[in-house]
A and B are shown apart, each in its own frame.
Chain A
Amino acid sequence: MADGQKSAGGSGSGSEGLIRTRTARTVREQAIKGLLVAAAVLSVLTTTGIVVTLITESSSFFEDIPFKDFFFGTDWEPLAGGEQQSFGVVPLVWSTLYLTFVALVVAIPVGLGVGVYLAEYASPRVRKIFKPIIELLAGIPTIVFGYFALVFFTPLLQNELGLDLRVFNGLSGGIILGILVLPTIASVSEDALSAVPQALREGAFGLGAAKWQVVVRVVFPAALSGVVAALVLGASRAIGETVVILVASGNTPNLTFDLTVAHQNMAAFIANAARSDAAAGSTAYATIFAVGATLFVMTFLLNIVAIRFVRKHRQVYD
């Protein structure tokens, strides 16, 4: 009977031996729980670490450079010398958003197309083959895409299509970034569409709708929040992508619509600046943190939006 005590359980008839066993066990249970809590709290510590680092180093940056100059200035030369050095982040933010835009122009139609096809049109056998292939594409390391952009895609655009591109250009980087983000959009939207109950489709068919009408007018709107979540996740991934842009699109952001010149996004800037490793404490080094903070806030906000949509989506069918 000594075995049968739950740690949170009631008090037994109080013999000395029983109470001692329960106490020892309770202590151990609490200790284990403490360890588990610590592990979970580590996640909070990570966020705290990120926020603290970004804030403290950025604040030293903003002591030297006024907010207005940073957020509204259009001359971005943080690593230049002397008089030339300038910290207007607008071109960098512009290039980031522009590259993301190019990527999404590729990724959204194609990604949704793949998602819709796999969810609604593909036979189970086709689906069984291609869904894993899409997941495979999602697992390819980003450096491979960077390689592909610089070594294959840019020369292809320059030579076969005759485009007057610089060797480091925004078009190649942007398109390949889209290919990188595509599997995320395809996969998540496919999940969202598949989750729509069959009853909705059957009802529409029963009313005489053609297949494409069922998909576009019934299934798609029903899965809309999930699909939007997919798009936002894709956008978030594109905004924060480093290596593809670092390898293929050059070291300079450009405040222009011209995709034949170099473009750099915030993540690539951070990686590039850190490789140069300016001395800790210099303004150029602190730029890494200021830009990092900006990037973090942007993806954070996007992610909150995505989570909201996903939650709304989940509620519909629970």
Chain B
Amino acid sequence: MAVAETALTRKVVERGTSGERTRDLLFRLALLLCMLIAMLFLGALIVDVALDGGSILSTDFVTKYPSRFNADTAGVRSALLGTLWLMVLCAAFIIPIGVAAAVYLEEYADNNRWYNRLIELNIQNLAAVPSVVYGILGLAFIVRGPIEIWGLGKGNPTLLAGALTLGLLVLPVVIIVAREAVRAVPSSIREGSLALGATQWQTIYRQVLPGALPGIATGVILALSRAIGETAPLLLVGAGSFLLFDPQVDGAFSAMPIQIFSFVGEAKPGYRDLAAAAILVLLAILLIMNSFAIYLRNRYETKW
């Protein structure tokens, strides 16, 4: 895929007129300028956050509860636990459903049927719907549901409601990625299994899924890292901030993006730096997750 200039093409370029070469050079400079701008903003962002928040990072910061009054003793404990819980609950939701849907679409569904194409189209569209609309869905259906089950419904903004809303948000992504992973398994594997007398499900369960597992795992981790970075759906669902207790599945909760949002909003001095420190914590979590995904991909990628 990478464009490698051959010796021949390089000679052709060098043979060009000086006017050509200046235009070429200018074009190349313009492109480098674009790279520079992009890297500059990224660099400024990270440096600014690190400078503002670096000094506040400590074990106290992640183990203490936040405070509206005292910037010195504030921590992100409730928000951090909330984010971790959201990750776990969201995964429990999206993994079975996402993989099941992907398996159905790849292995069972006849693409000539209109309803299967409708499902496909649906998933592609859902992947591009703004996160705030998912928040509306979560608020209207999950939080304000007419029946109260397990903390959901009747206006209860619970951790479970937040996790489900985020799950719905990233489910299309998981399905798409899982489908590609399943599709990558060569049909010879399936055919061999079927020829040996296995049923379709046995083939999928014992041959296809294990082969697609690394790809699915990578996709799930990336989807989760997107989910825990989202703020808008949680704002709509009613996540709290400055909670002084650990979250419960069927109780009030907070999350890192919400806590950062609250810190940023505080006008009192010192809170902006707290926001920066919280950002560093969140970025660290995301970095760990993404590195893990890359590790999985490199280590377990099956070369067919």
Contacts and interface: CB of A to CB of B under 8 A. Distances in A.
A147 to B, nearest CB: 5
Interface stretch (A60-68, A74-82, A131-139, A254-262): A131-139
Interface stretch (A35-43, A84-92, A157-165): A35-43
Given A141-B229, A147-B264, A240 B130 contact: yes
B185 interface: no
B118 A44 contact: yes
Given A43-B119, A210-B23, A117 B130 contact: no
Chain A at the B interface: mostly helix, strand, loop or mixed?
A: helix
A280 B42 contact: no
B125 interface: yes
Interface residues of B, number: 96
Contacts of A8: 200
A284 to B, nearest CB: 15
A137 B144 CA distance: 35
Interface string A254-294: 00000000000001001100110100100000001100100
B38 interface: yes
Contact of A306 (B128, B135, B225, B279): B128
A240 B169 CA distance: 14
Contacts of A166: none
A155 B273 CA distance: 15
Nearest to B144: A280
Nearest to A310: B124
Interface string B107-146: 0110000000011001111101111111111011100100
A3 interface: yes
Contact of B49 (A33, A116, A144, A150): A144
B290 A49 contact: no
Contact of B232 (A133, A140, A243): A243
A147 B279 contact: yes
A44 B31 contact: no
B1 A205 contact: no
A43 B171 contact: yes
Given A198-B3, A247-B261, A147 B132 contact: no
Given A139-B286, A142-B231, A147-B275, A295 B133 contact: yes
A53 interface: yes
A4 interface: yes
Interface of A: 3-8, 25, 28-29, 32-33, 35-44, 46-47, 49-50, 53-54, 57, 109-114, 116-117, 119-121, 124, 127, 130, 133-134, 136-137, 139-148, 150-152, 179, 182-183, 186, 194-195, 198, 201-202, 205-206, 208, 210-212, 215-216, 233, 236, 239-243, 247, 267, 270-271, 274-275, 277, 280, 288-289, 292, 295-296, 299-300, 302-304, 306-307
Given A7-B199, A151-B276, A210-B16, 17 more contacts: A36-B101, A38-B100, A39-B96, A46-B122, A46-B168, A133-B39, A139-B290, A144-B282, A151-B275, A194-B1, A208-B12, A212-B27, A240-B133, A270-B236, A274-B235, A275-B235, A300-B129
11 contacts: A33-B104, A43-B122, A110-B37, A111-B38, A139-B226, A144-B45, A212-B24, A271-B232, A289-B136, A295-B130, A307-B125
